[in-house]
Structure formats: C-alpha cells, structure tokens
Structure 1
Amino acid sequence: MPFAVLNPGGRDAFQTFPSAAGSPNDPGHAPINYHAYAACVRGSFARDVREIPPTVTAALVLLRRNGLDAALDAVNTLRERNVRTLVSWKESGLHQVSDALNDAKRYAKFAEICRAADGYLASTPELIALYESAGSRRGEFLPTPYPIEAPAWNFSAPISDRSGIFVGTREFDIPSRNHLLAVATAGRLSQRVTVVNTDGRRGERLLQSISPSLRILAGPLPYPEYLREMARHRIVFQLDRSAVPGQVAGDALLARVICVGGDGAVERMAFPDTSGLGRTPEQLSAIASSLLADEATYRHALAQVESTAARTLSFSAVAEKLQKFLGGL
C-alpha cells in the first residue's frame, strides 16, 4: 500500500525511499525516527500535502505544538482525496507532549484532529491513552524501526577494538534526560568516557567541571560519523526518563553496542535486561560494570540484543506490522 509521512510546514525536504534504507551516503534525512516509517515500506516523506504523490493511499500526519492548524488542514485534505489518514506526535516524549497540550485551545484542536483522522500511530505505548481519550477511532503502538538488516547500516567495530563508555544523551536543560547525572555516574566506572557537547563553550565548561578527564566531542556530528564514534565504545550509557521513542537505543543498535539505561520504547524492546525501566542509577551502574569487565556476559548480551531487535525493530518486522494495520483501516 503506497504510504507517505507528512510533517506539515516542517523543515525536511520531500524525500522518497525507493531502496528502503538505502545508503548512509545518500542525500537527505537518514531513515530513522519518523522518516523510518516511510522508508521501511519504500514510501515518501513530505512537508506539504501537495507533495504527496497521487498514488498514495495512506498517510501519517505528524503533529507539532505550533503546527496543529496545518495538521488539521492536511488531515481534511487527505481524507477528501480518499487517503486513509493517521496522526502521531512528532515530539513524543512525555514532557514534550505535556508542554504541547498545556493550553485548552491547543488540546481542543488536538481532539478535533483525532476525531477527523482515521486513527493514530503511537511511537511510544504511553501515548495510546492520550489519542484514544481525545477521540481517535483506532490505532496502535508501532516502534520507530531501524535498518539493522541492511549491511550498509551495520556500523559495528570488532569487539576487541571497543573500549570505554559513550554517553548517549546531550541536553542539560531537560530535567527528565538526567544528562548531568549520567555523565557523573559514567565517570565513576573507571573507564574512558566520551560525551558529545552541543552547548558550545558553556556546555564544555560544565562537562569539564564534572570531570576533567572526559573526552568531549564538539557536536553535532554527521550521523554516519556519530555512529562510527559510538561503535568504538563498549557500551552506551544514559539515565533518560522521558519515555521517548528511543533514538539513543536505536543508534546503539546500528553501532551494535549495548545500551544501558533509558526508558524509551526501543530501549525497553531491544535492551530489556539493561534498560532503565524499573532500575535505579546504582543498579544500572552495576550492570554497566559487569558488561565492561566480563567478556562472556558482554558477548551473550550482544547476541540476545541482535536477535530480539531483528524480530521486533528491523525494517522488515515493522513494515509487516504497518502494512497489516493499514490494510485493516
């Protein structure tokens, strides 16, 4: 079923995915996050409803805090074209959705959109109740997929060449990310710790005050370079509690590195034995220590992760679920 993802008024240019994941060297946005929904079924991603090809019969309209009017117009236009239309929050962490809907008028507009659309896709299970209470007719949780079955997207490094800890979060100013605590906790594990700084000189000073021995990379980095850097490490560490879709864990899957901590959807699905769900920072620190020190434990955990992810988060696995859901609309 021809499928498109629409981000009304967004910044990302129109893009098609005829080769699904394609190559990391391809122009345009990487096939991750909401682009991945389009890429896994060889669909398209648009920022204007007029860009959507006439052959498309189903579309996902992304919702943004300041773009709800445009989203409603898009939903109505698509339904007039007999396109089966779903909605999903583009920024879908709990703190992000709460911020978007802390105004009565915006919530009313969101509810109007939910009633107008044919259904929803929830990139996190926590948001199912929100869509349904706002009037969505039907929907389901569908994780954002990662092209782990595509050889071009395998960024793994030999296990013998891996060392140290890569901190997966970056934002100091979002409390639920717990970035400062993650950096401080990782620094206690007697390993080389790498962190990407996207806050300029201010962020660099803060990171150096936490630990002068940190390896600080100036970011953001091009996505393939970022994955190669991550792959040089033994584990990815985070303490995020935002209930996000889980790009940190998704990046770790492409790098073939174990992710410790985080309560995102991908973290819980791909890394159930090391995710932050129901675990304290002290418990996660102990898990990290074991993975850093015990070769057999590390290799066993890595094999389990790759097997689980192939069944539940690969392009082929999610594409099958998406097509089945669209066929039932």
Structure 2
Amino acid sequence: METDTSTQAASGALTRQQRHISTYSALSRKVRQEGLLRRRYGFYWTRIVAVVTAFALVWITVLLLGDTWWQLVPAAALAMVSAQFGFLGHDLAHHQVFASTRWNVWSARVVSGLFAGLSYLWWKGKHNKHHNAPNQEDRDPDIGPGVLAFTPAEAARRSGFVARFTRHQGWAFFPLLTLEGLQLHVASVRTLLRHKMDRYRWVELSFIIARLGGYVAVLLALLPVGKAAAFAGLQLALFGVLLGGAFAPNHKGMPIVPAGMKVDFLRRQVMMSRNIRGNAVTDFMMGGLNRQIEHHLFPSMPRPNLKRARPLVRAHCAEHDVPYTETSLWRSYRIVVRYLNAVGLRARDPFQCPLIQRYRA
C-alpha cells in the first residue's frame, strides 16, 4: 500500500511538472507563430545610427560652446545618450539584434565599452545570473548584499547605525541612484582586472579607458577644473538615475524566492517581474524594459516586439492563473520605496514571503 501511494505521489508530482513545462511551451509556440522572435534590423540600425549621431553632436556642441556654464546642457544630453547606449548594449548582450552570436557579442563590447564606458564581460556575468533566478536569495546578484538591504535576511544581519539606516533606506534609494553611474564604471573595470583568464578583457579595458580617459581629457582641455567637474558630476549623476531608474521598478517589491525553492520557468519569470504602463516616451526612456515580464520570458525577443507579445502573455497568464503585475511608473517607485523601508522594519519580526504564502494556500 505504501509503495502504491508513493508511486502515485511521484506520478502526480511528475504530472504537475510536465503540465508547467507544457504551459510555457504552448505560449512559446504562440509567440513563434506570430513571428515575434524574428530580427528587427530596421529598428536597430536606425536606433544605432541615431544614437551614434547624437553622441557626436553632443561633443561637437561641447567644442563650440567653450568655457561657459551652458556646458551643463550637453552634459545632461550626454547622460541621456549614454543611457541609450546602455540599453543597446543590453539588447545586444541578449542577442536581440543580430542573428549572428559573434556580431551581437562584438557589437555589445563596442557599444557598451567605447560609447558608455561599461564592460560586456561584467554585464553578462551579473545579468545572466539575474535572469536565471530573478529575486531568488543567494542566486540573484541584484538582491545581494550592498548599501541597501533587499531581503529581510540581509537586513536582520545588520546592527548599529547601519541597521537604523536600513529601517529608512527607501528614502535614500533615489539619492543613491546618482552614484550608480560611477559605480557601474568602477564595477566594469574591477571585473576586467580580476578575470585574468578572459581572452578579450584587454580589448574591453582599452575601450573603456579610451572612453573615460578621452572624456576627462577633452573636458580638462576645454574647461576650467570647476566647470569640468560640474559637467562630469551632472552627467554621471543623471546617467545613474536614468539607468537605475529604468531597472529598479521591474523587480524590487515583488516576491522574494527562498534560496532552495524551485519554481517552474513561467511562474518564476512572471511572478517576480513587474511591467510598467506608459507610452512611447516611457518605452524610450526605459529602453523597452518596461515590458519586463515579456523580456524575462523571451530574453532574445527584439525590443519592439515586446509590446506586441504583451496581449498574448497576459491572456496566457490569466488562462493559467499566473499573477501578471502591471502598474504605472510613479506607483512602481512608491512600491519600491515602501518595500525597502519595510525590509528594514520586518527584519525585527518573523517575515513571511508572499510567494510561500501563495504556494501554501
């Protein structure tokens, strides 16, 4: 009797697993039938040419303006252009642009390193881990230890001033984003210096040194130290806010997955992600990452196709009772701030993960 019961239980578990796999496979077939994974060369070549042209125009403006505080205008423009290069590097790293892996990888190195001062190697290692296990403790580096505590477990380990800061850390989130641009440059260089076995790390380092070194050299050649520092400070601060502000709303405040918990692919990507409603301006400023659920389900889907995939994914999730979260940009920021503050406060009391509560129910 015990053997029969255990066999039935194993069979039931296998049936559930097969059902979950089949659920995603059915969605994937719909997406492929609609042609949503096909390359969008026209979109990307137009975007690349436009952003490179804007980059050149910014520096031409800097040269023409000379010694004046009006240089803060092209500084802000350069931040926006650099953020767009960051989004393009993200798409290339996900192989969304070209059919050829080599074209995607080398274009990502050039776009990220030479134009944005970021490392493809650093981005690939960190971002791949995030996509494999979004919001999962000990696996997703985006919720790992840092200045901010993203999980109650991390907050509970803090004491003294750091613990007091953590209880109100949500209010520090946006000011800290102004340092994100500098942090991204530092993390990129540090990663390349540490990964001595990567055969292309010196290529990436040369790109980043040329971008950042040339940037500083031009500013110091054209402007007094004070104006050059103001230019760099504004550009780096706004660059960090634009990139960090585009990535933060997508997962922060969504369920945290315990380290050893297993969740099927569809639910893991949908339930831990949040879409941001908006218009063409939102799409542009967030680099298409406002369609985060669709992006996580189909990482290689070209950016312009994410919007077209949304109705299919939303209907599929409703059919299979998978929570699909979508909200406005400003409400998402309020959720992030409240969540970060709550993490510090809840660390003093037992914390129940919303995901565990749902699965137990």
**TM-score interval (norm. to shorter):** under 0.3
Structure with bigger RCO (C-alpha 8 Å, 6+ apart)? 2
Q: Which has the higher helix share?
A: 2
Q: TM-score, normalised by structure 2?
A: 0.24
Q: TM-score, normalised by structure 1?
A: 0.26
Q: Which has the larger radius of gyration?
A: 2
